[in-house]
Structures are given as C-alpha cells and as structure tokens.
Amino acid sequence: MRKILSLLLIGFSVACSTSPSENENQDQSADSSNTQGFVRYEDEKHFGEVRQLTFGGDNAEAYWSFDNSKIVFQATNPKWDLPCDQIFTVNSQGQQLTDTAPGMISTGEGRTTCAFFMPGDTTVVFASTHLVDAACPPKPAVREDNKYVWPIYESFDIFVSDMNGNVLKQLTDTPGYDAEATVSPNGDKIVFTSTRSGDLELYTMNIDGSDVKQITNELGYDGGAFFSPDGTKLVFRASRPKSEEDIATYKSLLAEGLVMPTQMEVFVCNVDGSDMKQITNLGQANWCPFFHPSGEKIIFASNHEAERGFPFNLYLINIDGTGLERVTYSETFDAFPMFSYDGKHLIFGSNRNNGGTRDTNLFIAEWLD
C-alpha cells in the first residue's frame, strides 16, 4: 500500500508530538482560528491560500475528480466508528469534516486503500479485502528485529463502486495482492501493483480490467504509480535491493506478506515500461510521487534530510533528476500530494495543525509556480 503515515505513528512516534508551532518559519497571516501551529509556513512559497479539509483521524491518499469538484480519500476515524480504512468522497469546496462522516464509497467491511476517480466522476476504483473477510485484516506484530514493515495483504483486490457505495465490478481476481490503482488522465488505462508474478510489480490494464500488461520486472517493491498529464509516462517509487543481505531480507519478508519501505527512490518510465530512469538517488524513503502539471517536474515526499527518520516533507525535482527544491517545511509529516487537473491546487496529507495529536489531515493549497 502507498500509505506510510503509520511510519510516524509507530516507528517514529516522537514526530507526532512535535508541534509545528515551534517552527520559527510560521506564516503569521494564517487563519487565526487554528488551535495549534499554522496550516502554511512562511517558506512555502509555492502555496497561496491553504485550507484544511479534515479535522481528526487518519486521512490520506486524497485524489481529485476529473472535474476538480470532488475529493476521494481513505480514512480511519474513531468518531466515524471505523476500525480501519474506508473510502469516502467529499466536495472539494467549502465542506470541512469533523464529527460527521461524508459519503462512504466502500462497503464498510474489510480494509480498503488507494481510491481514484474513474472517467466521468460517477464511479471510483479502489482496493478492498472485504470479499475474504468482513473484519479488518490483522496488523503486523512488532518484530523482534525491530524492522518497520508494511503488510501486503493477499486479500486485496480492485473494485469499481458508484457514488452510493454500490460495488459495480471486480477488476482483479488473481491470487495475491492487487491494489494501488490509479487512472490515466486520458481515461483509458489503469496502473496498479500486483504480486501475481511472485514479486511486487507494476501492471496496466484497460478501464474495464482487460488487456493486463506487466510494466516492471526488476526485484523490489514497485508501487504508488501515477500517469503523466499527457498519459504517456508513469512515475512511481521503488525499492531496489542489491546486496545479498538486502535481497535475502526482501525475499524473506515478502514470503511473510511484508515489505520494509524505508529505502525507496523515484522512477519514471513510458507507459509500456520502456525508457526506465531513476530520478532520485537521495537515500531513505522517497515516495508518493506525482507529476507537476507541466509534465516536466515531479513532486514527492521524502525524509532524506532527516536524521531520525522524520520529518517528511514535499520536494520538487525535474524529470531528469536535476533541480531538487523543497516545497514544505513541516516538522512532522507532509505527503500524498496530487495536483488538481487544472493545475491550480495541490491536495496533501499532513500532521500540521493537529493540536499535538497523531491526527493526519487533508489540506488544499492554492498552487503558485
């Protein structure tokens, strides 16, 4: 799964108690109603007005509808009586989410992840475990070797639902993990991650689930892929174990249905997998990349400047790997960026302005180039 916010909540919980209000680079013009910290920091020059969309719980992987009017996201929120992530939609303008849950797109059973609007904005694609078990799948136990790991649930398959929560179609039905689906801006293709080959690789398929093609074939976890604005390229993050020890560790964990996502870099390739290029070589975790509206840059989250695994901030980089630029200046966690289709706004998840809790909320920023 693309979701890494639990890295802060479990592996690096100290970051969740760090107050953004302690950062000396605060935007003093920010909304005075904020109870702790600010929604925008002074050095965040690419941000104009920043609006907080959710207030409480763990909210992540928020993505725009094609017409930019709606947001789909996954959330776990005790106030909404959710034991694990489910999929919701909300109007992108004016609606703030506190105690009342918005419209649920998923079934309310199992665990879900990685939702994305389909062409026409009347249906949503997402992954879910609900066919195997109505209960949430178990979280990995704390390991004796202290390795931080993600679960790769074999019960994940990819589904299409309407806006009323009715599952209309199952797109994948192969043994193993199928998830992390996103849709081309052209409305013709879906890219997703699967273990059907025995490794975590990228695949594409048509909107109806037909014509499945394997895109990557190198050992390591390839995931979190998105299309370029013109639909001709993919950007994704990948682990690439090279030493005998790292390869053995990767294979051993994968056999347990686990991965260790602490070493990842950003890659770009053509939609058919050709012209594969590694864009970052920064070390640590570089992930959740998304194309800038120009198609010439990539925004992504990284902790490469951190000494203790946090904070995570957003960065821009040219598609040739040059011109690295820091975008956000949080002391905790900023990730999951997606530009609106008109390029005017960026939505992202953050621990900023959470009142000193572990809540991860959604923010919409006016984008300034």
Helix (H, G, I), strand (E, B) or coil at 369: coil
Contact (Cβ atoms closer than 8 angstroms) between residue 324 and residue 346:
no
Number of other CB atoms surrounding residue 234 within 10 Å = 28
CA distance 348 to 355: 18
Confidence of residue 310 (pLDDT cuts 50, 70, 90): confident
At 315, the amino acid letter reads Y
**Beta bridge partner(s), residue 157:** 128
Contacts of 215 (CB under 8 A, 6+ apart): 191, 201, 202, 203, 204, 222, 234, 269, 271, 272, 273
Alpha-helical runs (H) found in 106-215: none
Of 37-41, 179-183, 304-308, the range with the lowest mean pLDDT is 37-41
Contact (Cβ atoms closer than 8 angstroms) between residue 53 and residue 63:
no
**Would you state the structure tokens that stand for residue 169, as one six-digit string?**
């179609």
**Would you state the structure tokens that stand for residue 347, as one six-digit string?**
């939505």
CA distance 313 to 297: 16
Tens-place pLDDT, residues 276-296: 999 999 999 999 999 999 999
Nearest to 193 by CA among 221, 160, 235: 221
Tens-place pLDDT, residues 207-229: 999 999 999 999 999 999 999 99
% of the chain residues with pLDDT over 90 = 79
Strands 103-104 and 86-91: antiparallel
pLDDT score for 95: 64
pLDDT score for 48: 97
**Would you state the structure tokens that stand for residue 53, as one six-digit string?**
């969309």
| Total residues belonging to the chain | 369
- b/e for 321-352, b at 16 or more Cβ within 10 A? eeeeeebbbbbbbbbbbbbbbeeebbbbbbbb
Q: How far is CA 153 from CA 20, 52, 137, 257, in A?
A: 34, 31, 8, 7
CATH architecture of 6-367: 6 Propeller (2.120)
Q: How far is CA 96 from CA 54, 280, 355, in A?
A: 6, 36, 17
CA distance 293 to 282: 23
Section 336-348 average pLDDT: 98
Q: Rg of the Cα trace of the chain?
A: 19
Tens-place pLDDT, residues 228-258: 999 999 999 999 999 999 999 999 999 999 9
CA distance 327 to 354: 20
pLDDT at 17 exceeding the cut of 50:
no
pLDDT at 303 exceeding the cut of 50:
yes
Tens-place pLDDT, residues 67-89: 999 999 999 998 888 889 999 99
% of the chain residues with pLDDT over 70 = 89
Cα atoms in the 13 Å half-sphere on the side-chain side of 220: 20
**Would you state the structure tokens that stand for residue 62, as one six-digit string?**
């928020």
Number of other CB atoms surrounding residue 240 within 10 Å = 17
Helix (H, G, I), strand (E, B) or coil at 3: coil
Number of other CB atoms surrounding residue 36 within 10 Å = 13
Compute the 3-state secondary structure of the chain and give helix, strand, coil in percent, each to the nearest 5. Answer: 10, 40, 55
Q: What are the boundaries of each domain within the chain?
A: 6-367
Nearest to 129 by CA among 201, 178, 74: 178
CA 325 vs. chain centroid, Å, equals 20
